[in-house]
Chains A and B, each alone.
Chain A
Amino acid sequence: MHEPPPSWSLEVHAVLQRAGIRQAFYVPDAGLSQLIELLHADPAVATTVLTTEQEGVAMAAGAWLGGQRSVLLMQSSGVGNCVNMFSLLASCRFPLLAMVTMRGEWAEFNPWQVAMGMATPAVLAAMGITVLRVDAAAEAAPTVEAAAAAAFDCDQAVAVLLSQRMLGRKQWVTQ
């Protein structure tokens, strides 16, 4: 809250507003904190902090069943928690718009994050989820916009991976 939000969070929030997002679910990650604050402050969005990411997959399905679009935010380790729940998307043809902040790649300092970070794109792909990767902040908003269209107009499950390079190395130092 002490620094102004980086522009990608503001731009992505604007994209989510235009896409008609009404529910947002997350397990927090530092790289997502400003977007999470913007979503909490948005009266059009019901924001739920999850206990585990897999709960968010089921809530996204429930939101769609009830007629609302949603976004699911998590860190790459959360993808590992979701694997079995992702099967719900493929079987029922539910859309999913997920944003995943990556760990275990660019300048990672924590060896414990590497294995799940490296496996994340392959795990998502194995569960039938389209993976779009963002390496530069300027690409975040257009990529999320494309992902939202594919999800909600085309019934696809899409995950946008926000790379550690884009999020910036210094953010991780305190963790």
Chain B
Amino acid sequence: MDTQTSLHHANRKVMNRHDLTRRLVARLHREEAVIGGIGNTNFDLWMTGQRPQNFYMLGSMGLACPIALGVALAQPGRGVVALEGDGSLLMQLNCLATIGAIAPANLLVIVMDNACYQITGAQPTATAARADLVAIAQGAGIANSHWAADEAGFEQLVERCLAQPGPHLIAARIDSQPATGTTERDPALIRQRFMRGIAVTT
């Protein structure tokens, strides 16, 4: 794919989803909630170890951000991270404007941009052409939106975003590798584990 030559990506390293997810999880020290988007994004989250504060969204594209926003509003004292693929975010770009408007201080969105719908056969998405998700997020009102230049830059951004009031968005260019495993599939169990993991009793 000729995304490598795309101008807005000139100085950005192509990284790996599983590696970046590991780096993210290693920086979660305060029981932050993580909402993994459909497919590879949540598979690689699962493969980093099943933290009780992880929610794995397996049904529809584009829901990780609005689910995370609901959690962030319900638990303003807890950091909440939404992990989403570029194709999924593109389907629900409008949610960036809602996040920009509500401006929850405890929300971080991380986009794994492989410029394709990897899991359905790696068909190119709009980010393979000209769409720039960081520019879109900034335009939607999430001023703290950044591309990670490389792994060290990603780690620095994550640490800064977890320490400072958001909302924040980090986008990373990643390769088109599939995830390293798959998530267990019982949705009600996933929900219950997560709610216990973030101290909700019903």
Which residues of chain B are near A85, meaning CB under 8 Å?
60, 63
In the complex, per-residue mask of A83-98: 1 if CB is within 8 Å of any chain B CB, else 0: 0110110011110000
Chain B, interface SS category = helix
**Nearest Cβ distance between residue A84 and chain B, in whole angstroms?**
5
The answer, yes or no, to whether A150 is at the interface (CB within 8 Å) is no
CA distance A55 to B91 in the complex (A): 11
Q: Which residue of B lies closest to A90 (CB)?
A: B187
In the complex, per-residue mask of A46-66: 1 if CB is within 8 Å of any chain B CB, else 0: 101111101110111111111
Q: Which residue of B lies closest to A85 (CB)?
A: B60
Q: Which residue of A lies closest to B93 (CB)?
A: A51
Chain A residues within CB distance 8 Å of chain B: 22-23, 46, 48-52, 54-56, 58-68, 70, 84-85, 87-88, 91-94
- The 3 lowest CB-CB distance pairs between A and B, nearest first, are A62-B70, A66-B74, A58-B66
Q: List 22 A-B contacts (CB under 8 A).
A: A23-B70, A46-B73, A48-B69, A48-B102, A51-B94, A55-B92, A55-B95, A62-B67, A62-B70, A63-B70, A64-B70, A65-B198, A66-B198, A67-B199, A68-B74, A85-B60, A88-B57, A88-B60, A91-B187, A92-B187, A93-B188, A93-B191
Given contacts A56-B66, A85-B60, 16 further A-B contacts (CB under 8 A): A48-B102, A49-B101, A58-B70, A59-B73, A61-B67, A62-B71, A63-B74, A65-B200, A66-B71, A66-B73, A67-B75, A67-B195, A67-B201, A68-B74, A88-B63, A92-B190
Chain B residues within CB distance 8 Å of chain A: 33, 35, 55, 57-60, 63, 65-75, 92, 94-95, 97-98, 101-102, 187-188, 190-191, 194-195, 198-202
